[in-house]
Amino acid sequence: MNKNSLRIIKREATAQALASAAFELALERGLDGFVVEDVVQRAGYSRRTFANHYSCKEEAVVMAVETTHDDDEVLALLDELPEHSSPLDVLYQLMKMRLTAEYLRKLRTLVALSKEYPTLEPYILSAFHRLQTMAQQALGDLFKGRYPEQYTHLLAGAVCGAMYPLLDGSLDVLLPGQSVDETPGAVQFDQYVDTVFGYLRNGF
């Protein structure tokens, strides 16, 4: 591993430590109950280091949902897909890979926090935008112009948009690992995802 790779890994680890500290403080004290100084003290870094990564505590709180992704893992997944796979097939597998129980739980927590602290909302939208951009890039790299650009953008947007109702409580959907006893009558997450992709495949 070269020095540039080590530098990137170290930078990502620092950013994640700061974000995790901010997220923990938001859960413990509420967004108004701490300042950046509290974040850096908990994480063990300086304010200057914080400023090198985040513009404000709200951004740091939301970035706790992000994890470092292994591009090789994505490439391996794409290589294993049958040749006749459609963009929807690819997005289905990517969503299953990326939308882990931890990721979804943190996002749901952040959306709930944003109802009390609206200053979080722009940063949550940015997190959704990054997820959508990742999906668009994967489709573009794999299909290389076989589909119109508008198609892949709309498709990725539809899939990411379908995730929001289960995060803001509009729909009763159990996250992976949740017991059906917690919310009687709620839909299992895998069932919800299959329903979403069924609508997209067959039309509404």
Kindly tell me the burial class for residue 46, based on how many C-beta atoms sit within 10 Å of its own C-beta (0-12, 13-18, 19 or more): exposed
Q: What confidence score (pLDDT) does residue 146 get?
A: 87
pLDDT of residue 142: 81
> What is the C-alpha to C-alpha distance for residues 188 and 176, in angstroms, rounded to an integer?
8
CA–CA distance, 118 with 40 (Å, rounded to integer): 23
Residue-wise pLDDT tens digits, 135-179: 888 888 888 888 888 888 899 999 989 989 989 989 999 988 888
pLDDT in tens, 61-111: 999 998 655 566 666 766 777 778 888 988 888 888 778 888 899 999 999
The count of other CB atoms within 10 Å of the CB of residue 199 is 12
- The whole-angstrom separation of Cα 131 and Cα 124 is 11
Residue 124 one-letter amino acid: I
What residue ranges define each of the domains in the chain, with the CATH number in brackets? 3-63 (1.10.10), 71-202 (1.10.357)
What pLDDT, on the 0 to 100 scale, is given for residue 9?
Answer: 83
Output the pLDDT for position 74.
65
Q: What is the pTM of this model?
A: 0.84
In tens, the pLDDT along 3-34 reads 667 888 899 999 999 999 999 999 999 999 99
